[in-house]
Amino acid sequence: MKRIIPMLAAGLLAAAVAGCGGKKESDTIIAPKLEKKKPSAPIRMQDYTQTREIEWNGNRLVSEIRRTADDSLAMVTDETGQKFVDNSIELVVRRADGSVFFKKTFTKEAFDQYLDNDYRKTGILEGLVFDRVDESSLRFAASVSHPQTDEYIPLIVTVSKAGKLGIERDTQLDTSSIEEEE
């Protein structure tokens, strides 16, 4: 019996050591294969119209902006192969009597000199909106963007009292709302 207890203890100890060792874990991670999403039909931005009444140097004007997904323009393709229809935007400014003071249809090409090669190739004309009246011009904000992202090039479009068009890249941060709150 004296021999059975040490043998039993040795057996339990061997079983405990064997149980603790277990199967060695692998460092290999097995993940399911990701299937590349296939591009869908070309994506079109929703058409919109913005009409604003403007008071400028004692005169009443109305600006109307119409964005349209334009099938006549070259499509843009993103890095996944998804195609996007580019937009054209028409700006019409009318006098109080209804006569046209200014009218132009913009495409991305109107802003070409302010874009880098990436935006020329993969950007779309996203928007044009009325911003404000300066003493010498009507000011509009425009943007050329990478579709479905927050990446864009901000642009300023101005129309002078003589009806002359001006375009420049917007380099100022819009902080007017912050300044007004202070």
Query: How far from each other are the two terminal CA atoms of the chain, in whole angstroms?
Result: 92
Do 63 and 92 form a contact (C-beta atoms < 8 A)? yes
SS3 97: coil
Rounded to 5, what percent of the chain is helix, strand, coil?
20, 40, 40
What is the tens place of the pLDDT at every residue in 1-57? 555 555 555 555 555 555 555 556 667 777 777 666 677 899 999 999 999 999 998
Q: Which fold has domain 48-173?
A: Lipocalin (2.40.128)
What is the tens place of the pLDDT at every residue in 85-104? 999 999 999 999 999 999 99
